[in-house]
A and B are shown apart, each in its own frame.
Chain A
Amino acid sequence: GQQVMQIPQYQHVQEGEDFTTYCNSSTTLSNIQWYKQRPGGHPVFLIQLVKSGEVKKQKRLTFQFGEAKKNSSLHITATQTTDVGTYFCAGHQAGTALIFGKGTTLSVSS
């Protein structure tokens, strides 16, 4: 069945360093979504990418969708302690429910 793999599982950085999480699907996706879950909280939608090769930015966050629509990445520039949490990608294939990756948990030390 469809799988969405996400790496790394955990990442610790010093405040100010960059961070990237990668998402790979076994099948072509119609779109990919990214969510953030703060410790003790629930996932919150960040962004959706639909087009092949699409790049979107939200302040220090840069999201990319691969040309083959099978992979995606989230890059955070100059991390802050407020970036702490687990970042999930979720892939959608036409006619199927959204499939979530297992997430990357980011910790930031000041």
Chain B
Amino acid sequence: SQTIHQWPATLVQPVGSPLSLECTVEGTSNPNLYWYRQAAGRGLQLLFYSVGIGQISSEVPQNLSASRPQDRQFILSSKKLLLSDSGFYLCAWTRGTSYEQYFGPGTRLTVT
């Protein structure tokens, strides 16, 4: 069966510090991978998605970036965090664009 992991579960970072969030998927190959952000009590904002190694599509221009160094690994990064980067970051995978998405447990990021 497929499993998706995210870490860390919670993170408190000062403004201006760097960020690296990691997501890995087990039990499948060549998944489509997604990064979402959810502000408190709000909907899901798609940040990045990837259909293959090294292929990243950005949905929202901001100070975040994503990379996919391996087939089942997706990384979200920032060089300098802003207060507005606080939120619940969710990674998801799917077999293809028309299929259901499976979400990881998420990372709660607080920028202070």
A residues adjacent to B (C-beta < 8 A)? 30-31, 33, 35, 41-45, 48, 88, 90, 92, 94-103, 105
Contact = CB atoms under 8 A, between A and B. Distances in A.
A88 B44 contact: yes
A102 B43 contact: yes
B98 A42 contact: no
Interface residues of B, number: 20
Interface of A is mostly: strand
Contacts of A102: 42-43
A103 B98 contact: no
29 contacts: A30-B98, A31-B98, A33-B100, A35-B101, A41-B105, A42-B104, A42-B105, A42-B106, A43-B44, A43-B90, A43-B101, A45-B101, A48-B100, A88-B44, A92-B97, A92-B98, A95-B97, A96-B97, A97-B34, A97-B46, A97-B59, A97-B97, A98-B46, A99-B46, A100-B44, A101-B43, A103-B43, A103-B44, A105-B41
A96 B51 CA distance: 12
